[in-house]
Structure 1
Amino acid sequence: MILKRMELRKLTALLALSSVLSACSTDGVLDMDGPRPTATLAPMSAPVSAPMSAPLDPAVDDEESGGFQRLVPSDPYLVGYPRMDPPASPMIQLSAEEADCRRQLEKLDVAYTPLAPIDEGGACRIDQPVKVSAIGSVEMRPAATLSCQMALAFAEWTKKELVPSARWRYFSGVRTIHQGSSYSCRKIARTSVASEHSKGNALDVMAIELNNGDKIDVKKPGFFSFRQKGLLNNVRADGCSYFTTVLGPGYNYDHRNHFHFDIKDRRNGYRACR
């Protein structure tokens, strides 16, 4: 009985050795001096919701999935990242209108960098863009890539409406404007119409940080947040004097967490403030 068990074990070992040797044929041997065979990975079972090239924003957390969400073109955080556009050549010639616009930016103490022309095809272009990093003592985070006319409208709104409203309601100046999207080559969500972002004529404001440490999210405030509501309602309504479009929470789901400001050229001076 013992001999039979030993013979059975030997037979099992010989079969295992035989299978290993057959798998290690010359076709499967690694050539240390030549190219290594390429491994083929099986596809992941979980679907990927966005291209792998889409950046991840550590500040945008998808609570439903329990992790960070990928960004999509309709997400205002898509261009919240600083763009790496090259500076403008010192030899570039400015039109009279553009030169006057930049002089006005300087009068308002706007810190900006002239950029080289942006042309990504179609409507996605700014001939003479600027990157705004601060408006007086108010930091723009991240710096916003805009047309000069949009930069000027936003600077005037910040100086004449936002800062005074914050001082009146919170007794504090404004430290930082957190923007989620300036220039971005994209269309209006669910349409074939080019967004004003694609021309550098739009800016999305996500939050306003005060010198006293308060941070006011544009997302619809709680029922008893009277002071926050008052400030947001004021600056939103006053924006209609500087922009041709002002959209925010309550307009639709896409604008639930930010103000969208733009200077779209509309007929008969029409303004869309909602």
Structure 2
Amino acid sequence: MSTEQMTEPDPEFEQEPDAPMTAEPEEAPAIEPQPAPRQAMVAYPRIPSPVPAEPEAVPLRPRAMPLSSDEVECRQRLRKLGVRYVDLKPIYDSPSCQIAHPIKLQAIGSVEMRPAATLTCAMAASFAAWTRNELVPSSRLRYFSGVQTIHQGSAYSCRRIARSRTMSAHSQGNALDVMALTLNNGKKIDVKKQGLFSFRARGLLNNVRSDGCEYFTTVLGPGYNWDHRNHFHFDLMQRKNGRHACH
């Protein structure tokens, strides 16, 4: 019976152990690029756009209209009275302050008006008649001198009566304030309460003031109130009962 010989492994040829089987690494799945995160929007309060201010309403100026028959006749009266004047464009500052056919009164005969007064024709005619018929003769009687200059303080003016809601006659060009007179001899007479011995000045001012009621619906002056302590106020204000106010 044959006996198989057992052979010993040759140490010089010792076999290295087989390397363990390793699985090939799997490819990582492709990562799709993601959009960058959006930055959070900070909400700021909306600032409203400034609303443009509406322009102030400008009163419409009426166009010059042809003169009425009354206005034509009035200008004829001015010429007969020797009035020097110029016609002005219509004045319209508000519904309460306007003159449709204003004139600028410059002189009454040889009597100068300083400064020239913007008035209605009716007011200018009444004042011219008072000047020629009352003021100049009274001056000649007391001072043997005519009147050279009338110094006026207010004609057309858009305003109310003091401490009142009523519009003044000045706002329609129907009033005139006389502050002083200069005579041909150079003497100046201020419209004010005269001294005890100012006989001629007091007599002149008192007479022309009282005579004014025949030409105007309102005559006010020194002694009436504090506002009129230094001038005569003449106007053509129309009152409901037609009365005149002469003080």
Q: What TM-score, normalized to structure 1?
A: 0.66
Q: Residue type matched to 2:122 in 1? A: Q
Supply the distance in 2 between the matched residues of 1:187 and 1:93 (Cα, whole angstroms): 30
- 1:122 CA displacement: 2.4
SS in 1 for 2:159: coil
Instruction: Answer yes or no: is 1:126 the counterpart of 2:63.
Output: no
- 1:219 CA displacement: 1.3
Partner of 1:136: 109
**Structure 2 residue corresponding to 1:149, chosen from 96, 104, 122:** 122
**Structure 2 residue corresponding to 1:224, chosen from 197, 201, 209:** 197
SS in 2 for 1:270: coil
Instruction: Answer yes or no: is 1:180 the counterpart of 2:153.
Output: yes
Partner of 2:27: none
Encode CA deviations 1:83-135: one digit per residue, 9 max, x unaligned.
Answer: xxxxxx9x851000000000100110100000000000021000000000000
Encode CA deviations 1:186-232: one digit per residue, 9 max, x unaligned.
Answer: 00011111000000000000001000011010011111101100000
Q: Residue type matched to 1:169 in 2? A: R
Instruction: Answer yes or no: is 1:258 the counterpart of 2:227.
Output: no
Instruction: Answer yes or no: is 1:212 the counterpart of 2:212.
Output: no
Partner of 2:141: 168
- Over the aligned positions, Cα root-mean-square deviation in angstroms equals 1.1
Q: Aligned pair count? A: 185
Supply the distance in 1 between the matched residues of 2:225 and 2:158 (Cα, whole angstroms): 22
Supply the distance in 2 between the matched residues of 1:192 and 1:271 (Cα, whole angstroms): 20
- 1:252 CA displacement: 0.2
Supply the distance in 2 between the matched residues of 1:231 and 1:167 (Cα, whole angstroms): 10
**Structure 1 residue corresponding to 2:166, chosen from 193, 200, 206:** 193
Partner of 2:34: none
Q: What runs of 5+ residues in structure 2 fail to find an aligned partner?
A: 1-62
